[in-house]
Chains A and B, each alone.
Chain A
Amino acid sequence: MAEALTRRSALGRLGAVGVVVAVGALRGPASAGAEGSSPALGLQESVQDGLKRVFGSRAIKDGAAVIKLDIPPIAENGAVVPVNVEVTAPMTPASYVKSIWIVADKNRIPIVAKATLTPEAGQAFVGANIRLGETTDVRAIVEQSDGTLLMARREVKVTVGGCGG
């Protein structure tokens, strides 16, 4: 290993790095397989890991007073669970709700969806149909334009799970 860094070995390593990077890029949105497409979404992980990955160590305040999380307390069919999130907050260019995350704690993919809003919406409201694998807490996490994070959560009892595999 006296001449560890000859030109040839260095080039070889660079080449290897290049291939890895290229494969990584190809495996991005088009064929992410189990890992989901957006880097912030769709990983199989625990909800704690997911929240940590998305929000880091930022404090999440209790937002039960301003977030209205409308979801049936008992879902007979976990494959289709309607969720509506409404936030009582102004939607002006100066202060608005920037994004709303929907998180299902016990799903294999806990970070379900992220909605990014603009002030054009006039009201911070989003709804979606989601899947729930089993009885779980569902959280709505709201990020305001000044960076404040608020969270509300509710438990949903699921009779028949909808996540399959």
Chain B
Amino acid sequence: MGDIGKIRIRVPSNAKAGDVVRVRCLVIHPMERIERDAQGKIVDRNYNYITRVTATYLGKPVVVFDLSQSVSENPAFSFALKATAPGPVKVTFVDTHGGTYEGTADIAFA
């Protein structure tokens, strides 16, 4: 699991100023689900999953996802943003074990 926190962000390469573009991001993360013992009781431990995803563009927040454990392993998220100027899209993931993972991608105009 050395890949935890590896982030891929895809932004369109042929955006024009003023376009609404869609960004897709993916993080490698186990998103552990709740385990139960033979009696069906929940095993009480600190499950490692992502609780919050924050995306910013030019330093301004665009979207915040609050997640529960019903989200898939290696989760992928999409969102839209209005491309007003070339600049970075930054996505930050926070998990329950205190891990914070960050990725950036640049919006450039064709």
B70–A131 CB distance below 8 A? yes
Choose among A30, A41, A126 the residue that contacts B46 (Cβ–Cβ < 8 A): A30
The answer to the question of A84 belonging to the interface, with a C-beta cut-off of 8 Å to chain B, is yes
Among B57, B60, B63, B64: residue with most chain A CB under 10 A: B63
How many residues on chain B are close to A (CB under 8 Å)?
A: 40
Choose among B34, B71, B72, B80 the residue that contacts A121 (Cβ–Cβ < 8 A): B80
Cβ proximity bits A121-137 to B, threshold 8 Å, 1 near / 0 not: 11111111111100000
How many residues on chain A are close to B (CB under 8 Å)?
A: 49
Among A30, A33, A128: residue with most chain B CB under 10 A: A128
Secondary structure type dominating chain A contacts: loop
Which of A13-21, A61-69, A103-111, A151-159 faces chain B? Answer: A103-111
Choose among B22, B51, B60 the residue that contacts A118 (Cβ–Cβ < 8 A): B60
Secondary structure type dominating chain B contacts: strand
A69 to chain B, nearest CB (A): 14
> With A30-B98, A37-B51 in contact, is A122–B72 under 8 Å at CB?
no
B69–A116 CB distance below 8 A? no
In the complex, chain A residues whose CB is within 8 Å of the CB of B81: 120-122
Cβ proximity bits B22-50 to A, threshold 8 Å, 1 near / 0 not: 10100000000111100000101111000
> With A109-B70, A162-B72, A163-B70 in contact, is A115–B65 under 8 Å at CB?
yes
The answer to the question of A4 belonging to the interface, with a C-beta cut-off of 8 Å to chain B, is no
A99 to chain B, nearest CB (A): 9
Cβ proximity bits A16-30 to B, threshold 8 Å, 1 near / 0 not: 000000000000011
Across the A-B interface, give the 8 residue pairs with the lowest CB-CB distance, nearest first.
A122-B82, A127-B78, A42-B68, A129-B72, A123-B80, A37-B51, A122-B20, A112-B70
Interface residues of chain A, those whose CB is within 8 Å of chain B, are 29-34, 36-38, 40-42, 44, 79-82, 84, 91, 104, 107-118, 120-132, 162-165
